[in-house]
Structures are given as C-alpha cells and as structure tokens.
Amino acid sequence: MACRTQTQLSRTLAANLHSDQREPIVVRCWLMGAISSGVERYIDIVEVTGSNPVSPISLQGTEVSMTLTIVVGLGRSGLGAARLLHHQGQKVVVLERGTGLDQTSSAATLQAEGIQVELGIPLEINSFEPWRSDLTAVVVGPGIPWDHPTLDSLRQEGVQIRGEIELAWEALNDIPWVGITGTNGKTTVTHLLSHVLGHAGIVAPMGGNMGVSAADMALKIKTGEMPKPDWLVMELSSYQIEAAPTLAPSIGIWTTLTPDHLERHGTLEAYRAIKRGLMQRSSLAIFNGDDSDLKAHRPSLKKGLWVKAAAPCADEEPADFWIDAAGTVQSKQSGAMFPAEVLAMPGAHNRQNLLLVTAAATEIGLNAEQIVQGLRQFPGVPHRLERLGSMAFAEVFNDSKATNYDAAAVGLQAMAGSVVVLAGGQTKRGDATGWLSELKSKACAVVLFGTGAAELDALIRQSNYQGQVHRCADLASAVPIAVRATSELDATSLLLSPACASFDQYPNFEARGDHFRELIQTHIRMG
C-alpha cells in the first residue's frame, strides 16, 4: 500500500467501510511500538466505532508516515535542531547545500543517529518536492534570511517556518531566561553575567548566538547530560529574534543599537523593531542609557531599568544604576555598591557592560559582595579584546568579535599608544565614520585581508588616512606583514579587529579568532 499520513488513511477507511450507519464513523489508529521513535511504523489495529459497532479490523502491512520537519543546514544550529527534534520523536530530514568534508562528516554522524541527511540540496522550492505531502514545518538557522523567497513560498502552502532558537525556547521555557541583545556588547555581557552568577553558586550556562547552540543545550538538559540550570543566559542576535516570535525571557537586556545587518533587515527601523519586540516580551527589560539610539527612543520603549556609566545630568532621565564621580557603582534603591575598578577590563563600554550585569544580577538575587567577587575573577571574553600575549614591546589582542565598524571603533578606543590593525572579511552596510576617525587617531598601519580588502582600502584612502595600508588575500598572509609593521613602526599593540563579518573565509568569528591565535603564537614565543 502506498505511504499515507494517519489522517489520509483514516479518511480512506471511513469512506470505504461498508456500514448502514447514518452517524459519522470515527476511526482511531494506534501505532504499535513507540511513536516517539520518529520513524515510520505499521498500523496494527483500527477500531471502528459508531451506533452499530463492528469488530476491529486488522491492517497488517499498512505503511503510515508521520508528519515531517525539514531542517535546513548542517551548521551548529541545524545539528542541534535536528537532534532535538529527533529526541522529541519527530521525523526529521536535514537538507544541506554543501558537499564538502565538514558537511560529509556531520551528515555521517547524524545518519548514524537515525536522522536522514541529504547533501547538495539548494534552498529552492523544488528541493522540498519529495517530502511535500508530509511536510509540516521547516527549521532554519540564523544564517538563512527569514524572508527568503523559498521560505515565503512554503509559508503560503501552510508550512510552518521556525527558527532553531524557538525550538529551544519551547523545550526550556520552564527555566527562566536572560535574553541579551544589542549591536555590540552582548557577547561580553553574556559571558560576564554567566560568570558572576556561576561564581555565586547559581547554575546559569550561556549559549545562543555563541558557544553551544540553544537547541543542543536543550537536548543535553532533557537527556540529563547537563543538570537542569537555575537560569539560562542567552546571547540573541536579530536573526535569531525575528525567527522566534514566542520567545519571552524573564529578563531582557539591550546593550546598544547602531546600524548593522542592514543588508538583511533593510532599514535601521526594521532592525530596531526586532530587538524592541524581544524587550516587549521580556518580564523585565534592562537598557543601556548611554547608547544614543536607546536614549532617543526611551519614551517609546517598555518601562524597565536603565543604567548609565556616569550619573545623569539634571535635565536627563533618571538611571537605576550608574557610576559616580568617585568611580563607585550606585543603585537608586540601595545606594553605593562597590568600586567600578573591580572589573579589570579597558574601555568605557565595559563600564556600561558592568552596570548591565549588576542590574541583572541584583534582580536575580545577588548582593553587592557576591557581584564583586564574580567581577574580580572574570577572565575576559574570548575574541573580544582578548589579550594573547606580548611580542617584543607590543601587546597582541584578538578582537575577532568586532564584526562591524562600530564594534571595531570601540576596540580601537580601548587601545593605548600606536596600533597596527588587522581588518577585513565580508563587508557590511553601515556608517564607517567613527571607525575611520579612530584609525586616523590610533593606527600607524592597517593590514587588510579577505574579500572586502579592496573596498576597505578605498574607504581608508578616501578618508586621508596617513599611515601604511597593506592588502592581502587572507589572514595567513596578513599576519607576517602586520608583525613586521609592528616592529618597524614601534607600535605598542597589534590588534585583530576586522570590522567585517567572517563568512567569506570562516564559518564564524570564533574560527577566525582561533586561526589568528594559531598564526600569532610563533611570533609571540619568539618575542
């Protein structure tokens, strides 16, 4: 018998059973064995009831298909989503465009776990044809545009389109979430808050846009591989938020807003609205009052807590947490808390991050001493102004997380003395004015790499930058040139701060930063 869904089979049986009944016939199907296995089973018994019941009918050998979810992509999010759905008993197929070694290896791993994977499948409507009759949902990772034409076509057919983060939310919404978003600063705040809570004995792992995917974390918690946390600290990008309209954290934190991802969202207004939606759904919202965009839109934002690195002027809106002229963190409710210098991280932006974490930790229940102890022990954030060591008289920093002009400008602001900058990758739309100004002020040389090198080169030269500019194909060829320039120009720092996305040559900014760490190690040892 041809493969049919349970609903189709029931209708067929009801239509074809010989009965004189005038009342509708109800057909109930049981799948013998564990339905939760997510695989096709056989119907063993169909019980037919009505005003004139008939004997149960045996339908051995009748094949039934379960509803199907297709996961698009074999990246970190796709792997986590496929495994979580499979664990939940859903039938899953993964479609992946690539056919390289990484994709082949991941496919083999999933197939060994009982999950079907198809490689070399582009995101086109025809690609879904073999599964169209059973397809009920498609799950996408953050790298796929939410308004992709193929996804829009599937929506019109009634297929549910979902983000990986929403699967995790549905699985873990019995645990309170802290959702951290913003153009810049969210990675540092995520790491710092998770660390401070953990140091105080609160189990609060981090994930989402960095580290462990939310779906993978959900699977580990559900299977007992990871103990059930007290809180979840999740970094959330705009891509993830737009694909998770039901996500409603207990605490939402909004760090900054500057133009970013406009090539995807189109306008700053659309980008802002996505992040605003997360804060609206959060039980408590915490905002950075030093950010010019957030401050300008404060009247229209949800009521919540506001932090400022400096005490508000008389004509400004009040703050709930701030740092006074003596460098002491102050709370509107409890007064003086502790010196801001307990967090040994450079830059004014890190004072804002400190306050956002303090506000959230206070709401969760920590006292000032507990927060201080956690802040003192914080080791820093990988890939965000991460100090890698010394090379002769120059310090080496990995700022691979600086994936836009504003983040790269912040990194430069934190540097003392003259700097040799490594920048490049996949360029983004945005205002480069601030970054170019910091280059002219701090950088004695800029070494460009990746697909965006030519575009950045033109941009820098048009700004009347007076330092050296070098262009390379990739990071591996750029590092030796940067090392030589650092020595020849007596620079005090060598800084990888790309101002670009990593996707031209790396799967993510972490891989780019790790590669830089490997490339520079020899030079650090020699120095």
Give residue 310's pLDDT: 79
Lowest average pLDDT, out of 28-42, 178-192, 200-214, 262-276, goes to 28-42
pLDDT digits (tens, 9 = 90+) for 103-154: 999 999 999 999 999 999 999 999 999 999 999 999 998 888 898 999 999 9
Q: Which domains does the chain have, with CATH numbers?
A: 4-65 (no CATH), 68-158 (3.40.50.720), 174-376 (3.40.1190.10), 386-526 (3.90.190.20)
Give residue 74's pLDDT: 92
Give residue 58's pLDDT: 41
CA-CA distance, 145 to 265, in Å (whole number)? 9
Whether the CB-CB separation of 513 and 505 falls below 8 Å is answered with no
Please say if the pLDDT value at position 13 is more than 70: no
pLDDT digits (tens, 9 = 90+) for 41-92: 323 333 333 434 334 334 344 444 468 999 999 988 999 999 999 999 999 9
Share above pLDDT 70 across residues of the chain, in percent, rounded to a whole number: 85
Give residue 18's pLDDT: 39
Give residue 261's pLDDT: 64
Helices (H) and strands (E) in the chain, counts: 18, 24
- Spatial CB neighbours of 108, under 8 Å, sequence gap ≥ 6: none
Average pLDDT value for residue range 13-21: 39
Whether the CB-CB separation of 138 and 154 falls below 8 Å is answered with yes
Give residue 262's pLDDT: 58
User: In degrees, to the nearest 5, what angle opens at C-alpha 275 toward C-alphas 271 and 281?
Assistant: 145
What element of type H or E holds 461?
helix 453-462
Please say if the pLDDT value at position 4 is more than 90: no
pLDDT digits (tens, 9 = 90+) for 349-400: 889 999 999 999 999 999 999 999 999 999 888 888 888 999 877 999 999 9
pLDDT digits (tens, 9 = 90+) for 313-342: 766 778 999 999 999 999 999 999 999 999
Please say if the pLDDT value at position 12 is more than 70: no
Average pLDDT value for residue range 452-480: 96
Please say if the pLDDT value at position 213 is more than 90: no
Q: If pLDDT is split at 50, 70 and 90, which confidence band does 29 have?
A: very low
Could you say which DSSP state residue 332 is in? T
Residue showing tokens 């496919």? 107
pLDDT digits (tens, 9 = 90+) for 226-244: 999 999 999 999 999 999 9
